[in-house]
Chain A
Amino acid sequence: MNSKTFLVAQREYGENVRTKAFWIGILSVPVLITLGILVPNWLEKKKDARRYAVIDESGWLLTAVEEKASGPDLAKVLKLALTDRQKKRDLAKYPPRIRQWAEAVPANFIESDKMLEMVTQGIDDAFLKIESTSDEAEGQEESELAALAMVRKGLDELRPEVEAWWKRLPSDEARQLSSGLDRSRYEITRPDLPSEDPEAVLKEMLEKDQLFAYFVIGPDPVAGSEGCRYVSQNVTDNDLRNWFSNLATSVVRQRRIQNASLDPVVARKIQESLTFGEKKISATGEIEEVQGIDRGLQWAPVVFVYLLWISIFTVAQMLLTNTIEEKSNRIIEVLLSSVSPLQLMTGKIIGIAATGLTMVASWVGFFLLGMKVMPLLIGVTPPDFLAQVASDPFLLGSFLFYFVIGFILYSALLVGIGSVCNSLKEAQNLMQPVVILLIVPLLAMVPIGQDPNGTLARFLSYVPPFTPFVMMNRAAGPPTFFEYVATTIVLVTFTAICFWAAAKIFRIGILMTGKPPKISEILRWIKAPVGTVPEKD
């Protein structure tokens, strides 16, 4: 008996994996996600530098801002050069002066992480004018400390030369070095402006698209923002404005501190923000650090709910098509001369569940592959929610369980629907209630994610068609053990009932031709004992 069910399942599975729908399903999710990551990345790189002009009525702020802006960029470039040297890449793209410097750094500095950190600190000191918060390395040899001092001196000598070079560097050349530099993204232009009504010229340039925006710095920025404005035709992209105003603000702040004759150290202390360290309560009731894994649990449920949802939709189409084909080309009768309706239905459900699980497994496989490959390709690492799930066997087991039961439940519903329809169109009509049912867990995904143990989450967990989705979604909660058990009992019972009802519907429905029956008639089929066919209306 069971072997026949397996034969049916095998055939169903084999046929499904050969359909276009299956392969589109398998590829669609990884492709979409990859595109979703790659395309914005690529677009970002292709974005032209924003050209801007500045009318500086104060006479000093622009120069100060430019100086302040160059620091971080230069520091980045130097660090990049070092990294490239460490990875033994070609340094040809760097200007000769920087190349020289990078090659002059002693080899043992490059190889030792600790020493590299010291050099990086030195770069920050020189270019960002941040005072080092860490003391000199302890336990390093005299010779190494001496060499480190040499490197730092070298940096100080380097600075004025590269600053001059940097001042004149156009955006596209900056972009060759790295697209992450501010210079790559924002380029200042200095057109000739008449002393009377310089803005008119700038406005014209704006309209002709020669400028993205222009700034006007008021006469006394230290006193206040009066007279400062940003003019642009693009009101949605505020990156330039934010960048410039952040720089200008920090310069003005420094000047104000100076003017107030405050000790910069005291000033920094005044500005220090108060941070509340994030901790959580562990399972044993102790206070412990919040770890990456806890944050990961926010991602994993969402991803898995989506995966289950998408895969159910995809296999639904296949199941309905197959069942209707068997009905319409009358192969059903031949099949029923060899297997019982129950064996046939069970086989189809197993076959389609296996198909769905294969799809999901391949998505997970793609993701694992992507984890390895993507950082190499574009340096972007997707969040690793899988590792976090995989490290908790109970969680992993529960996800697997919900997947399987979810598939069986919805497959049973769909098989029942497919058995009474003669065409896909009829099936789509009857599918509507199922579709509406499936939208609920999707809509509830965000609210439940934010409040995994709240009333909504608790309530929905006990509604069997939603249970697989909701319980996975609540993983960050986590739900209590009692809830796991109780909802599982409800879910499994409900699935068994659906299976039994579907079997009754299937038995009669697949031999029927003509209009699909009304719901009331279907209910009568369910109530009638096996083998009889109740009265039609």
Chain B
Amino acid sequence: MDSVLSLQNVTKRFGKFVAVDDLSLEIPRGCIYGFLGPNGAGKTTTIRMVMSIILPDEGRLKVLGHANPEAVKDRMGYLPEEKGLYKKMKAGDILTYFGRLKGMAGREAKDKGRDLLERYGLGEWTDKRCEALSKGMGQKVQILGTLIHDPELVILDEPFSGLDPVNVDLVRKLILDMKRGGRTIIFSTHVMEQAEQICDFIFLINKGKKVIDGPLSQVKTTSELAIRLDFEGNGTDLRSIPGVQRVNDMGKSAELFLEPDVDPQDVLRDLVEKVTVRRFDLREPSLHEIFVRAVGGKSDE
């Protein structure tokens, strides 16, 4: 397979602390790769190594076919988790600057920058300073800055954080467009629903080690089915239903995990008596649940 990124037994230490432990993964071209993990798991460190901001202590890294990521920096885009801009620079200027830093010609970068700002609703802010932008607008500028040079591989760390639903849709569309154009996107998020919607592959890291790695569909089907419920009523009642092993109570919805060999129909009958059922779904567990299970956190009993 044509992989854009390949890590082999990569390790990184900060003093005695092992941030990334013997990590191996292979990312194919043209897919959307979800990079998940709890806080402090080693996601950011791994990403920084891919961007050659820091160097691994052990193991090998290959980006876009090159063993030295420095060589292909210009073909990659990176949106860090804490997004920043030069306050005193104008929006258009900062996009031009980012483009040129990636090797674009001055004129080209300037035109592309303006064009992107127009297309994504920020046209009138082109000549305004970044400090005048709201947080969401600033984030859009940041994202555009990541993409201005049309990179082959894009790494987005929490791209949706702080965006309103309209902008979330916009960014999602952007990501899908890129995929259709043959680009590869790695994105990291804590909001599992977003990952579920667009990722082809899932990679879960915890305490520096790989926990899950594979296509989303596969990851989900290996787990048993769960009941997804939208309801009104008292969530604590759900637990007392016979056959129910575990409940993820999210207030207005819930996930029920059944004991082995229990018929979901029986559970449904009991449910209708205890709460008002708005929606009943029998499907694979949510990514949220998979995540929680994988990192060993205890969900509601």
Q: List chain A positions with a Cβ less than 8 A from chain B.
A: 4, 7-8, 11, 15, 18, 325-326, 329-340, 511, 530-536
Contact between B102 and A325, CB atoms less than 8 A apart: no
Selected from A326, A338, A536, the residue in CB contact (under 8 A) with B15 is A536
Residues of A contacting B262 in the complex (Cβ-Cβ under 8 angstroms): none
| Bound CA span A333–B81, Å | 9
- Tally inter-chain residue pairs, CB-CB below 8 A: 75
Residues of B contacting A335 in the complex (Cβ-Cβ under 8 angstroms): 101
Residues of B contacting A531 in the complex (Cβ-Cβ under 8 angstroms): 54-55
| Bound CA span A329–B102, Å | 21
Q: Which residue of chain B lies nearest to A4 when distances are taken between CB atoms in the complex?
A: B101
Contact between B73 and A338, CB atoms less than 8 A apart: yes
Contact between A329 and B84, CB atoms less than 8 A apart: yes
Contact between A15 and B53, CB atoms less than 8 A apart: no
Q: Which residue of chain A lies nearest to B73 when distances are taken between CB atoms in the complex?
A: A338
Contact between A533 and B87, CB atoms less than 8 A apart: no
Q: How far is the CB of B50 from chain A (nearest CB, A)?
A: 10
Whether a CB of chain A sits under 8 angstroms from the CB of B295 is no
Q: How far is the CB of A350 from chain B (nearest CB, A)?
A: 15
Q: 8 smallest A-B Cβ distances: which pairs? A: A329-B84, A531-B55, A535-B15, A337-B78, A331-B84, A330-B84, A333-B80, A338-B101
Contact flags B40-77 to A (C-beta < 8 A → 1, else 0): 00000000100101110100000000000010011011
A-B contacts, 14 of them at CB < 8 A, read A11-B97, A329-B84, A329-B86, A329-B87, A333-B82, A334-B146, A337-B77, A339-B101, A511-B48, A511-B54, A532-B55, A533-B13, A535-B16, A536-B14
Residues of B contacting A533 in the complex (Cβ-Cβ under 8 angstroms): 13-15, 54
Q: Which residue of chain B lies nearest to A529 when distances are taken between CB atoms in the complex?
A: B55
Contact between B53 and A337, CB atoms less than 8 A apart: yes
| Bound CA span A326–B97, Å | 15
Residues of A contacting B78 in the complex (Cβ-Cβ under 8 angstroms): 333-334, 337
Residues of A contacting B146 in the complex (Cβ-Cβ under 8 angstroms): 334
| Bound CA span A476–B87, Å | 48
Q: Given A4-B101, A334-B145, A337-B51, are A18 and B16 neighbors across the interface (CB < 8 Å)? A: no
Residues of A contacting B173 in the complex (Cβ-Cβ under 8 angstroms): none
Contact between A15 and B98, CB atoms less than 8 A apart: no
Q: Given A15-B89, A329-B85, are A336 and B53 neighbors across the interface (CB < 8 Å)? A: yes
Whether a CB of chain A sits under 8 angstroms from the CB of B88 is yes
Contact between B15 and A330, CB atoms less than 8 A apart: no
Contact between A325 and B87, CB atoms less than 8 A apart: yes
Q: Which residue of chain A lies nearest to B106 when distances are taken between CB atoms in the complex?
A: A7
Residues of A contacting B101 in the complex (Cβ-Cβ under 8 angstroms): 4, 7-8, 335, 338-339
Selected from B16, B89, B98, the residue in CB contact (under 8 A) with A334 is B98
Residues of B contacting A7 in the complex (Cβ-Cβ under 8 angstroms): 97, 100-101
Told that A335-B101, A337-B76 touch, could you supply 4 new A-B pairs with CB distance under 8 A?
A325-B87, A334-B98, A337-B78, A532-B55
| Bound CA span A283–B71, Å | 57
